Each structure stands twice: as C-alpha cells, then as structure tokens.
Amino acid sequence: MSAHKPLNQQVIVVTGASSGIGLATARMSAGRGARVVLAARNGEALDAVRAEIERGGGVAEPVVADVSDRAQVQAVADRAIQRFGRIDTWVNNAGLSIFGRLEEVDDADSRRLFDTNFWGVVQGSLVALPHLKQSGGVLINLGSVASDIAFPLQGMYCATKHAIKGFTDALRMELEEEGAPVSVTLIKPAAIDTPFAENARNYTDRQPKLPPPVYRTEEVAEAIVHAATHPQRDIYVGGGGRLMSAAQSIAPRTFDRIGRTMVGQQLRDEPARERDGTLYRAGHGGRTSGDHPGYVMRRSLYTRSVLHPVTAAAVVAGLGLAATGLMGGRRRR
C-alpha cells in the first residue's frame, strides 16, 4: 500500500490520550497539523490536553471513554465523525499492567486487564474499520516487545500483548484478502519511561519499575506518527527490545534463564506505594514521562533507522567510507 495522506490532512483518534504514549502521540500529531480526537477515562485531564493543544494552534476533541466498554468506544467514533466528518488513523493505545506472580493475581483483576488491554484493542479496531475503509485509513495497535517474549511478574500483561499480536496479524490478513484500503501496524515498544509502572496494580511489597534498557516516550510517538503516513507491518521501538525478541526466537531456553533475572530488575528497593493502581479508576493524567530511577535513553538509533531506511543507509555508507579511508591512511603510514 502506498503512503497515506499527509499528517496535516488527517483526523487521528488516540485512546489512552491523557498520559504516557497516548499523550505524547496526541501532542506530536496536533503539532504537525493533524486534528486529534482524545479518548481516555479522565475527562479533566483530557480538557487540559485540549486546552494545551489549542493554545499551540492545534485542534483537538476530547471524549471520556473506557475502552473496555464497546458502547463507549463507539461513542468516540461517533464524536469524531460528528466533529470532523471522517477518521483517517485510529491508534489503540490504552493499556495497563499488573505486577505479581501469576498464582497470586486475582481472577477479577486478570479479566479486567484483558478487558482493557486486549478487548480495548479489539473493540477499537472493529469500531474504527468501517470509517477507515471509507477514507483509506490506518489502524495502529500498541503491542509490546511482550507480544513476542514473556517475563516474570507481568505474566498476565504479556498474555494480553501476545493476544493483541495474534488478533492484529489475523485482522491484517483478512483485510488484505478483502482488498480493503486499510494498513495495519503493530507497534512493539521496549520498556518506556511513562507512568506505566506507577499506574499498575501491584501485588508485591516493593515499588515496581521497568527493566532496562528504558527509552523515552516520544520515541514511541515518533513511530506511531510515522506509521500514520507510511504503512509498515511492525515497528519495534528500542533496539534492546528487538534484540530480546530475536534472542528468544533463536534460543528460547537460554532466554528463559535470562528472563528469571528480570524479577529483581522490576522491583525497587523501596516499599510499595499505591498498590491498587489505575486498573479500576482513571489515573491523574497530564504526564508523558514516569519516574524511572535509572538511565533513560533519549532515542533509539535502531528505531530511527527502521523509520528512515534511506537515512540509515547513508549513515552506514558514510561510516564505511570513513573506515575505508582510515584503514587506507594507516596502510600508507
């Protein structure tokens, strides 16, 4: 499929738009001229985001919605059509996690996580598709490196992300067989410095955190915005995540042994704070970054090379020429 319409001619719906990746995506999209529909549970936070975007000259429409409820997701689409007349890109971003051993996690919490992470993506996709088919649009689903691998303490989260990958891949095949003018992209971020860990339901007695390497939120937003105009099947955000995925596929038992070390990497040396998280309630919103205690990588050279392969090729060629020149100079000396 060829490139879609320019971003400044698009209407983009973003779920989970009140904080983290969704907020960064909404800001970036509006800053580049798109009209943005903001969906999340926290209406006060959405109003603040709309005011911020409009102060910068952008256009945004907030809609309070819980993506686990099909009727509320439909209301997001209805508002987008009512306000802007069409939907060009739909971003299924809303998601949460649970930190705890699988034997300890309550069934109701697990089901609630699936309602949000998995069914939120399913319902968003199915509600969006009739509109995307009309406009020749883009469906972007937020998976994770956890769509390919699994790790302890967030086992149910990994299960939801595996399910999202299966659904997204099957849906893409059906749309291609049908000849529908819709591109489907699965974004697979590594650990990202958002309020993700502090918003999670926590069964441990220590404050959770994400294992390194951790990347900046805007790297994911850049990948989402790129996919809105340049169809791409999968985009990994963070070379570390891509490496883990490759390692798991090549040597799964070895990766299992490495994965066991990730229990300690996901817990801080401090007592747990708000252990309920935002599984059943709206979060505070308004922040793209979290409070990760370690180093946060500002950009992923791997992801930038995937998004801009011509630039990457030029960089590699330049490095090759420089290396050749250096070796030639050494031989002459």
User: What mean pLDDT is predicted for residues 92-108?
Assistant: 98
Q: Is pLDDT of 323 > 80?
A: no
Could you tell me which residues come within 8 angstroms of residue 264 by beta carbon, excluding any fewer than 6 positions away? none
Same domain? For 204 and 323 the reply is no
98 within some domain: yes
Residues 272 and 315 both lie in one domain: no
Same domain? 237 vs 285: yes
Q: Cite the active site residues.
A: 157
Judgement on whether residues 283 and 315 belong to the same structural domain of the protein: no
Q: Which domain holds residue 203?
A: 7-299
Give the pLDDT confidence score for residue 249 in this predicted structure: 85
pLDDT at 311: 53
pLDDT value at residue 310: 59
In this structure, the answer to whether residues 193 and 84 fall within a common structural domain is: yes
* Domain total of the chain: 2
Spell 320-331 as b/e; 16+ CB within 10 A means b: eeeeeeeeeeee
Task: Taking residues 148-164, report their average pLDDT.
Answer: 97
Q: State whether 199 and 326 are in the same domain.
A: no
**Region 15-30 average pLDDT:** 98
Kindly state whether residues 196 and 225 are assigned to the same domain: yes
Query: Is residue 2, in this structure, part of any structural domain at all?
Result: no
**DSSP strand E in the chain: where?**
11-15, 35-40, 59-64, 89-92, 98-99, 138-142, 183-189, 191-192, 201-202, 206-208, 214-215, 234-237, 267-271, 296-297
pLDDT at 91: 98
Q: Mind listing the pLDDT tens digit for each residue in 38-80? A: 999 999 999 999 999 999 999 999 999 999 999 999 999 999 9
Specify the pLDDT at position 75: 98
Q: What is the pLDDT of residue 39?
A: 98
Find out whether 154 and 267 touch, Cβ atoms under 8 Å.
Answer: no
Query: Does 319 lie in the same domain as 284?
Result: no
| Domain presence at residue 227 | yes
Binned at pLDDT 50, 70 and 90, residue 241 comes out as confident
pLDDT at residue 72, as a whole number: 98
Are both 99 and 223 inside the same structural domain? yes
Give the model confidence (pLDDT) of 178-214 as tens digits: 999 999 999 999 999 999 999 999 999 999 999 999 9
The answer to whether residue 330 scores a pLDDT higher than 60 is no
* 239 pLDDT above the threshold of 50: yes
User: Is 58 in the same domain as 79?
Assistant: yes
Region 86-113: what's the mean pLDDT? 98
Q: Are residues 280 and 315 in the same domain?
A: no
Task: Return the CATH number at 181.
Answer: 3.40.50.720
Give the CA dihedral 260, 263, 269, 274, nearest 10 degrees.
180
Shared domain for 84 and 233, answered yes or no, is: yes
- Give 128-194 as a 3 state SS string: HHHHHHHHCCEEEEECCHHHCCCCCCCHHHHHHHHHHHHHHHHHHHHHHHHCCCCEEEEEEECEECC
What confidence score (pLDDT) does residue 284 get?
87
